[in-house]
Amino acid sequence: MTKDTEALKEGDLYTTYLHLNMGPSHPAMHGTVRIYLKLDGETIVDSDVDIGYLHRGFEKMAESGTWTKVIPYTDRLNYVSPLINNVGYCGAVEKLLGIDITERCKFIRVFVSEISRIVDHLTAIGACALEVAAYTPFLWCMQAREEFYFLIEAITGARVTTSYVRIGGVRWDLPEDWVERYERAEKKLFEMLKDVEALLTRNRIFIDRNAGVGVMKAEDAIAWGFTGPCLRAAGVDYDVRKAQPYLGYDRLEFDVPVGTEGDNYDRYLVRLEEIRQSVRIIRQVIKQIPEGPVNISDWRIVLPPKEAVYNTIEGTIANFENVMKGIQVPKGEAYYAVEGGNGEVGFYVVSDGSGKPYRVHVRPPCFAIMQALSDMIKGRLVADIIPTFDSINMIGGEIDR
């Protein structure tokens, strides 16, 4: 209904709503999203959130190769925390296979997950700052993130396209100097965080732009299907690592930060605190990680070691069959969820008994959250979209797959 259908008083100017297209190509629209706005001046009357611009057919592509071939695709889901996706997918297939990984592998997976989480939150906090024109804290976050990327590169060989985790283990053991490398990154992290917090947390402009903006209360958040920092900022104490522990998280001590207002500012604080909790987890992992093999010894699932592959017929055959025919996963279905940077990342895998997946479905946490964006910005100004959208931390690769 446009304004001009209402009775116009004499002397009124003819007005109508402004239909403004924000995105998909827009500096503030992370990972290509289109928000179609119906504006009354600067006020948002209604909006339509349009996703799918980064849809690359991940779930369909997963059906065309073997189980192992899906792993590089999972890197490209949430591309700021790719290791968490790797862990989630491999965990789902291991659940379907009914196998248990080695102790050392569990701790390694926890370690890389938490590092990825720190990177994800640093990116989110940095972007929150950047888009309300706080350029300096953004660059500081990026500096801290760089140290973690150096660490990830030393472990996996790549910064973003890690493909580190394998079904039944990980690609290779951690490098020998991983503790020193981590400690260097942690030192830089706290240096930067101290300054970032100093500039942002009690910053008048930051608070004005973020506090009370993009409010999502607990009841609505649960109804929408929120998980992760957005849900916890609303006051709901739900973390997959505590609710459905995996990889031995129940042996580790950590707290789950919970907010009260459910606004952008709370989301920022929750993420900040989660970085510190991740550090706490990592410190425990460093103390508790056992020695031992990283991969299980069943050659039907993991590739045999290269000395065996090149020198024995058994190794050659096992490697050949594993690569060419794929891991023979028995018929069945499994759902495995991990706590990602944005919430519960779920992998639903279905096997038809052959070496190829029948179906791989990803539950992207930001999918549920983006549904609510329209509600969160209704009635507010265009300028409020930016910090709200940032604090949701929608990752295009994850939501569109």
Partner 1 sequence: MPTLKIDGQEITVEPGTRIIEAADRLGIPIPRFCYHKGLSVAGNCRMCLVETNKSPKLVPSCYEVCQDGLEVKTNTERVREARRAVLEFILLNHPVDCPICDQAGECDLQDLYFAHDAKPSRHAFKKLHKPKAKVIGPHVILDAERCINCTRCVRFCEEIAKAPRLTQVHRGEWTHVDVFPGQELDHPYSMCCADVCPVGALTTRDFRFKCRVWFLKGTYSVCAECSRGCAIRVDTFNNAVQRIVPRYNPLVNNFWACDEGRLAYHRFEKDRVNEPSIEGTKVHRSEAIGYLLQVIGHKDVVVVLTPFLTCEDAYIACKVIKTFAPQAKIVVGGRGQGFQDDILIRADKNPNRAGLKVVLAGFGLNLEGVGALSTLQSEDLGVLVFGEEHADAELIKALVAKAMHSAAFACTGKGGLGAKAVIPMPSPYEVNGTFINEFGVIQRCRKAVEPECGILPVWRTMKDISEAKGVALMVNNEQDVFEEMKMVCKPLASLHFSDIGEFGIKLEGFSVESSEAKA
Residues that bind partner 1 (CB under 8 A): 298-300, 304, 308, 310-318, 320-322, 324-325, 328
Query: How many CB atoms are closer than 10 A to CB 106?
Result: 20
Gap between the Cα atoms of 302 and 213, Å rounded: 49
Instruction: List the one residue out of 304, 395, 383, 394 whose CA is nearest residue 42.
Output: 383
Gap between the Cα atoms of 377 and 383, Å rounded: 10
Nearer to partner 1, 42 or 352 (CB): 352
DSSP H stretches of helix in 66-201: 71-75, 82-97, 103-131, 135-156, 178-200
Q: Cβ of residue 303: shortest distance to partner 1, in angstroms?
A: 11
The H-or-E segment that residue 241 falls in is: helix 240-243
The H-or-E segment that residue 210 falls in is: helix 204-210
Instruction: List the one residue out of 254, 264, 249, 110 whose CA is nearest residue 201.
Output: 264
Nearer to partner 1, 222 or 323 (CB): 323
Q: Cβ of residue 100: shortest distance to partner 1, in angstroms?
A: 18
Q: Cβ of residue 349: shortest distance to partner 1, in angstroms?
A: 21
Nearer to partner 1, 6 or 298 (CB): 298
Nearer to partner 1, 24 or 65 (CB): 65
Q: Cβ of residue 319: shortest distance to partner 1, in angstroms?
A: 9
Q: Cβ of residue 306: shortest distance to partner 1, in angstroms?
A: 13
Given its phi and psi angles, is residue 41 left (phi above 0), alpha (psi -120 to 50 degrees) or beta?
left
Nearer to partner 1, 135 or 310 (CB): 310
Q: Cβ of residue 63: shortest distance to partner 1, in angstroms?
A: 18
Nearer to partner 1, 84 or 327 (CB): 327
